Amino acid sequence: MSLKEGFSRFFEADPDRLHFAAHSHHPWPDVSFDAHARAWLDAAEMADDKWDHIFGTVIPRTRERIAKVLDLDGSNSLTFAPNTHEFLVRIFSCFDPPVRILSTGSEFHSFTRQSRRWEEEGLAIVDRVPTQPFDTFAERFTAEARSGAHDLIYVSQVFFDSGFVVPELDRIVSSVSEERAFFVIDGYHGFMARPTDLGPIQDRAFYIAGGYKYAMSGEGVCFMHSPPGYGPRPVDTGWYAGFGQLESGIGRDLPYAEDGSRFAGATYDPSGVYRMDSVLGWLEAEGVGPGDIHAHARRLQDGFLASAGAPGELTPGRGFERGNFLTFETDEAADIYQRMHDRGVVTDYRGNRLRVGFGIYQDGDDVDRLLEVIRETSDS
């Protein structure tokens, strides 16, 4: 199911590069180039009137595509921001400190850094559940979530440092006894990488993701699904949350919409939304969904693992559900990454974990080339 022909501009830019960092910066499909140009041309043709087009056509259409991918009943619960950190801070602003937070030891740097800074200032008290051992994580995390001791629960759908998929996430969300607690799912490594059905929990959980990784839309285009009733008036707010007040001015009462736009911020570059709209539309036209993408990645992973010469210990091991990348523990992770990078093979590493990602712009021949480089660099 490789769609390599749809990435010609990226491959022509560096024909010798072998890109296996599909858990990070994906190549961008050719349609995103045209969409980026369309954003510029719309600005030239419409000037200030472009915002009516963006908010009236581009954003609603992109929200509808996202809602379809996530099996949401509608798209009005979705809003955009240039990064997920904005959403995190805006959610946090809904609480009076100190905020009791439940999370894990494997969240991405943005959450980890910010939550530790909140702790330093006495603004938050954070309980972090270790992700390992993986086979008991769901049970241990569920027990903590059921305690009713937390204002905010934050957990990844797929952990960035291992690819481990949290099992039975719906059940964990439903187990939270404190109805006022915000449950936030970091879906960045799940969106467009695995089938994701938010339908059963759409009225209870926030879901945050974006375009930089598997949506192949580049930087600056992130989104959040907000369940109704949670955080009706975020303290951290921008003029996008009151778009209709631009001409009329801000009166005595500061209104908020009831839909996802209550978490909107301020001015950002809309070209990312154009790109995401084009990529999701292209995949729809090709008849390719997250399930197809994940199945293709799994086939490539299986072919890679079936060959000798794995660059370390597979983490988590076989038998666990994982995202679209493989993680190998080895004290030589940095050296292996650099040796392969010197040969034009792009992977990455986090600490002692080498990450190798698989996507729809690869096929079996690419995996064979990757294995050959691994063998050659291991022998050198």
List the pLDDT tens digit at each of the 380 positions of the chain: 789 999 999 999 999 999 999 888 899 999 999 999 999 999 999 999 999 999 999 999 999 999 999 999 999 999 999 999 999 999 999 999 999 999 999 999 999 999 999 999 999 999 999 999 999 999 999 999 999 999 999 999 999 999 999 999 999 999 998 899 999 999 999 999 999 999 999 999 999 999 999 999 999 999 999 999 999 999 999 989 986 555 555 666 788 989 999 999 999 999 999 999 999 999 999 999 999 999 999 999 999 999 866 788 999 998 999 999 999 999 999 999 999 999 999 999 989 999 999 999 999 999 999 999 988 887 65
**Do the domain assignments include residue 344?**
yes
Tell me which residue of 323, 335, 359, 330 sits closest to 20, measured CA to CA.
359
Both 268 and 321 in one domain: the answer is no
Domains of the chain: total: 2
Q: Quote the domain boundaries for residue 316.
A: 4-20+288-379
Both 101 and 177 in one domain: the answer is yes
Both 244 and 296 in one domain: the answer is no
What's this model's pTM, rounded to 2 decimal places? 0.96
Among residues 257, 284, 311, which one ends one of the domains?
Answer: 284
**Do the domain assignments include residue 119?**
yes
